[in-house]
A and B are shown apart, each in its own frame.
Chain A
Amino acid sequence: MKITKLHLLLLVSLFIINCSLFTVTANAAVPVIKIDGSSTVYPITEAVAEEFQKEKRGSARVTVGISGTGGGFKKFCRGETDIQDASRPILTKEMEVCKKAGVQYIELPVAYDALTVVINPKNDWIKSMTVAELKKIWEPAAQGKITKWNQVNPAWPAAPLSLFGPGADSGTFDYFTEAIVEKAKSSRGDFTASEDDNVLVQGVSRDVNALGYFGYAYYVENTDKLKAVPIVEKEGKPAVSPSFETVMNGTYQPLARPIFIYINAKSVDKPKVKEFVDFYLKHAAKLVKEVKYVPIPDEDFKLVIEAFGKKKLGTGFGGVAEVGVLIKDLLKREGIH
């Protein structure tokens, strides 16, 4: 008899759950602010979300997803998310999808990231590299041909060249290829690719002949295992190492890139979302530094805050990725959407 009672209980609980399925209202009591997108921007947004929820003590709920910039824009343009984390500007294709769905947006740069080219600390032949040398290594034509260091520069040893980089879905990959090979997504394919930057860190730290690239935060946390390569932008210019200073004063080129959040214009009317973005902009400088990204200089950031205050719609890029755009110029441009 005991058993049948247990069974009855199970059936009743199931019944209740099933009934409630159809009566439940999707609207929760506390509104949820939905954010999704790039894994590069994630640490910043996560830090802001954490602090925001601490301050609001349960009266605000924020979710931050990691779908990648491309995956995130798909959701954003369907109107599923309030805010989109993006490590590159919105592309023409995505603009069209957004337009069709009637989703308008505000584009705000929130920080800089410095793509860092790294080598093994035991590598003693590299003091700096030029963009031309990097191009020679990474362009699609190098595939299967450039396999030794001395093929790039005769001064370097005849050691095998082992390459590490992010996978093709990554915004980092898009930006690096755009900046170095001058065409987004155009890269040789015969390198060790991983979406997990820790795998790249491990790979480069174990191989003297390795060369890799990823975001600055992963380098800073592993300075004991890796060496950053100073980059020479053009012949005759000095070699510049990635750091907070060189990114902020604009000398670390062309691998410093701004990263963005996009806000659904309709969501700004929700008081909690507006509060969140205000909080984001107010605390960005401090939190960005804390998670090892480079803050945007104060004068430029004033323009960002102004742009949000004015609800400046659209993108300043017009759907094409650009290398080396200054934030103050970007915000002066007419928004396209």
Chain B
Amino acid sequence: MPEQSIDDIRRMIARHKLRDHIFAIVGILSLMVGILTLLALFTELAIEGAPRIGWKLFASFPSRHPEEAGILSAWVGTTLIMLVTAASAVPLGVASAVYLEEYARKNWLTAIIEINVTNLAGVPSIVYGLLALGLFVYKLDFGQSILSAGLTLALLILPIVIVSAREAIRAVPGSIREAAYALGATKWQTVRDHVLPYSLGGILTGTIMGLSRAIGETAPVITIGALTFIAFLPQSPFSGDFPFVSFRWLMDPFTVMPIQMFNWTSRPEAAFQHNAAAAGVILLVMTLIMNGIAIYIRYRFRKRIKW
């Protein structure tokens, strides 16, 4: 080893520290690109949409008069579709994940299925729209209904739900399962009483992430035919006669938030641009709230579980 003076070493350390600083700055700048873009976009939308945001926007149907137009049918449509999506994607996704993680033998067939599930997450959403148009709208004759749209978006987020549920299940330590088996529990008892409860936080987080992707999807919903003026609400889920709940609303036509926005941006009158901006802010806030809930759930479940 050649002799190095203490100055050389100091200089080297200074050089390395400088590089460290440079990297940190580059890192912060990269981070800012994403955050500032979102912030700028949000601020612009908020400023443009501010005069329209209010109770009236939520409580009015779309109209040809920009001041009277609202998003009532759009947010109700979006909410109902999300309900259908969640109700079909969660059980299917969780069951698939449990099977793949706990029951399936590790062989080439499982490997192919796993690869396909991961690949499905990358399929463009318009492809799901076309599939749904053929399958749900025409073949199964659900028509251009809330049911068709909900199932389409469920298909779209199913891979996300499966992947995140599998990760959550995998995070449950093997020793817990072994302990359950040692006490004579069956596989299903182990899954039901231990694996699922412990992984529920991760599963819910993944599901909500999937739903917040689905809420902004436009292409597949337009494909099944929702580019529509609708100034009425779906039928009420509660009815006067037995069994008091009605599922007629599933078959009703609908519109959703992104489509309402799209419709407004293509209007000739400039005043509609304000409506579109206001709807955009609300959609963004809805997504942020959903993501917030996901983070909160993850936090709460992590705190409760102590291995």
Q: A residues within 8 Å of B by Cβ?
A: 3-4, 7, 10-11, 13-14, 16-17, 20-21, 23-26, 28-30, 32, 34, 39, 42-43, 46-47, 49-50, 53, 58, 61-67, 196-198, 201, 217-218, 220-222, 290-292
In the bound complex, CA of A42 to CA of B192 (Å): 53
Which of B24-32, B50-58, B85-93, B180-188 participates in binding chain A?
B85-93
CB distance from A306 to the nearest CB of B (A): 28
Chain B residues with CB under 8 A of A197: 266, 268
Q: Contact between B248 and A29 (Cβ–Cβ < 8 Å)? A: yes
Q: Contact between B196 and A7 (Cβ–Cβ < 8 Å)? A: yes
In the bound complex, CA of A212 to CA of B200 (Å): 57
Residues in B239-261 with C-beta less than 8 Å from chain A: 245, 247-248, 250-253
Chain B residues with CB under 8 A of A53: 231-232
Select one of A39, A64, A198 contacting B265, CB under 8 A.
A198
Q: Which of A23, A28, A53 has the most CB of B within 10 A?
A: A28
- In the complex, the chain B residue whose C-beta lies closest to that of A16 is B245
The verdict on A49 contacting B247 (CB below 8 Å), with A29-B235, A63-B253, A197-B266 known, is no
Number of A-B contacts (CB under 8 A): 98
Kindly supply a per-residue 1/0 record for chain B positions 47-75, scoring 1 wherever the CB is within 8 Å of any chain A CB and 0 otherwise. 00000000000000101100000000000
In the bound complex, CA of A29 to CA of B84 (Å): 21
Q: Which of B88, B248, B253, B268 has the most CB of A within 10 A?
A: B268
Interface residue? B42 (CB, 8 A): no
- In the complex, the chain B residue whose C-beta lies closest to that of A290 is B64
In the bound complex, CA of A23 to CA of B243 (Å): 13
List the 7 shortest-distance A-B pairs measured between CB atoms, nearest first: A20-B247, A64-B229, A221-B268, A218-B268, A3-B197, A65-B228, A61-B232
Interface residue? B270 (CB, 8 A): yes
Chain B residues with CB under 8 A of A222: 268
Select one of B141, B143, B225, B235 contacting A67, CB under 8 A.
B225
- In the complex, the chain B residue whose C-beta lies closest to that of A32 is B253
The verdict on A24 contacting B268 (CB below 8 Å), with A63-B230, A64-B229, A67-B225 known, is no
CB distance from B94 to the nearest CB of A (A): 9
Chain A residues with CB under 8 A of B87: 10, 13-14, 17
Chain A residues with CB under 8 A of B192: 4
Interface residue? B147 (CB, 8 A): yes
Select one of A46, A62, A65 contacting B64, CB under 8 A.
A46
Q: Contact between B245 and A26 (Cβ–Cβ < 8 Å)? A: no
Q: Contact between B228 and A63 (Cβ–Cβ < 8 Å)? A: yes
- In the complex, the chain B residue whose C-beta lies closest to that of A58 is B232
Using a Cβ–Cβ cut-off of 8 Å, how many residues does chain B contribute to the interface with A?
Answer: 38
In the bound complex, CA of A66 to CA of B265 (Å): 14
The verdict on A21 contacting B235 (CB below 8 Å), with A14-B91, A221-B270 known, is no
CB distance from A73 to the nearest CB of B (A): 14
CB distance from A244 to the nearest CB of B (A): 16
In the bound complex, CA of A192 to CA of B61 (Å): 35
Chain B residues with CB under 8 A of A64: 228-229
- What are 16 pairs between A and B in contact, CB < 8 Å? A4-B192, A4-B197, A14-B87, A17-B87, A24-B251, A25-B248, A28-B251, A30-B235, A42-B229, A46-B229, A49-B231, A53-B231, A66-B263, A67-B227, A222-B268, A292-B268
Chain A residues with CB under 8 A of B178: none
Q: Contact between A198 and B266 (Cβ–Cβ < 8 Å)? A: yes
CB distance from A216 to the nearest CB of B (A): 10
Select one of A20, A66, A201, A221 contacting B250, CB under 8 A.
A20
- In the complex, the chain B residue whose C-beta lies closest to that of A34 is B253
Select one of A50, A65, A196, A221 contacting B269, CB under 8 A.
A221
Q: Contact between A10 and B229 (Cβ–Cβ < 8 Å)? A: no
Chain A residues with CB under 8 A of B266: 39, 196-198
Chain A residues with CB under 8 A of B225: 65, 67
CB distance from A279 to the nearest CB of B (A): 15
- In the complex, the chain A residue whose C-beta lies closest to that of B64 is A47
- In the complex, the chain B residue whose C-beta lies closest to that of A48 is B64
CB distance from B162 to the nearest CB of A (A): 17
Q: Contact between B248 and A28 (Cβ–Cβ < 8 Å)? A: yes
CB distance from A32 to the nearest CB of B (A): 6
Q: Contact between B229 and A63 (Cβ–Cβ < 8 Å)? A: yes
Chain B residues with CB under 8 A of A14: 87-88, 91
The verdict on A10 contacting B228 (CB below 8 Å), with A47-B64, A197-B268, A221-B270 known, is no
Q: Contact between A198 and B268 (Cβ–Cβ < 8 Å)? A: yes
In the bound complex, CA of A175 to CA of B87 (Å): 47
In the bound complex, CA of A290 to CA of B65 (Å): 10
In the bound complex, CA of A26 to CA of B235 (Å): 12
Residues in B79-116 with C-beta less than 8 Å from chain A: 84, 87-88, 90-91
In the bound complex, CA of A53 to CA of B232 (Å): 9
Chain A residues with CB under 8 A of B84: 17
Chain A residues with CB under 8 A of B245: 16
